[in-house]
Amino acid sequence: MALVVVAMVATSCKQNANEPQALDVSEAEVEAITQADFDEINDIADGAMGYSDGSIGGKTDGTQERGMDERASCATVTHDKEAKTITIDFGDGCTGPYGNTRKGIIFITYNGQRFVPGSYWTVELQDFYINDKHIEGTRKVENVSESLEANPTFHITLSDGKITWPDGAVATREVDRYRVWVRAANPMLDEVHVLTGSVASGINKDGISYNATVKEDLVFKKACRANNKARVPVQGIKEVIFGDKTTTIDFGDGECDSIVTITVNGESREVDLSNRNN
């Protein structure tokens, strides 16, 4: 009988060794959501940069001006044309159209119109939170497009990126990437592509260092926001190295969903990120 028990335990251990552990998948999930939190700030700032080219102006709530990101719908947006600054103030907390609550300020300083090659802007956060996660960091964006006729291309860096969860867990993040804004006749059909070779690195909330590299362009579709799926890409592949472990995240083939395939040590699992808030 003892031999049978030992054999059963040994078999169970062998099976578990071949399966991706919950922690393995969780690491990749949290990294994807961390990227989404910082990318969301970039999207909101990009929309507000419409003030720089005169397509929007004055002082408004985020929904009343063409070009503002709808996720800023409950914020007060102020443009100081002389100082070349834009302030997006979510106050003590307000909930946007997709159910996420934000508070604090996104502060932008700029030089030049956003779609003109050579223009640039800096995004800083002041006591900024998304769903009780405190988000910090400085993002710098430069328009590196070849011409006004080409799809706008931006070089983006994030320095001193940091997220603090309500339980005190902390993650850090640094980013160096290129994004292409693929514009359409109907703005709701616009896409944003994060180009192959873009990188991010940091330490996750479990204290594990990571390095992420885009292996196939990540594609974000504005049309997918209607069903709250635009917080993550809908297409593309990213490789993330956690310590000595390599993980790939496949975001799919362009369908408007938030289902990703995470592969660890040759084993794959589908995960739905739509309801993740960690």
More confident residue, 33 or 85: 85
pLDDT at 250: 96
Q: Which of 33, 32, 47 is nearest to 190 (CA)?
A: 47
What percentage of the chain carries pLDDT values higher than 70?
A: 83
Is 103 within a domain? yes
From 1-10, 48-57, 65-74, the region with the lowest mean pLDDT? 1-10
Chain centre distance of CA 150: 24
What DSSP assignment string belongs to 177-206?
EEEEEE--SSGGG-EEEEPTT-EEEEE-TT
What residues contact residue 150 under an 8 Å CB cut-off, 6+ apart? Answer: none
The yes-or-no verdict on residue 253 having pLDDT over 70 is yes
How large is the average pLDDT for residues 205-216? 94
pTM value > 0.75: yes
Give pLDDT tens digits for 77-99: 999 999 999 999 999 999 988 78
Is 278 within a domain? no
* Residue 45 token pair: 């700032």
Range of the domain at 249: 22-272
The yes-or-no verdict on residue 50 having pLDDT over 70 is yes
From 67-76, 117-126, 159-168, the region with the lowest mean pLDDT? 67-76
The yes-or-no verdict on residue 51 having pLDDT over 90 is no
pLDDT at 8: 42
pLDDT at 30: 84
Is 119 within a domain? yes
The yes-or-no verdict on residue 19 having pLDDT over 60 is no
Q: Do residues 124 and 140 touch, judged by C-beta distance below 8 A?
A: no
How many independent structural domains does the chain possess? 1
Give pLDDT tens digits for 135-181: 999 999 999 999 999 999 999 999 999 999 999 999 999 999 999 99
Is 17 within a domain? no
Is 58 within a domain? yes
Is 191 within a domain? yes
How large is the average pLDDT for residues 196-211? 94
Is 10 within a domain? no
Hunting for tokens 């060794």 — which residue is that? 17
Is 39 within a domain? yes
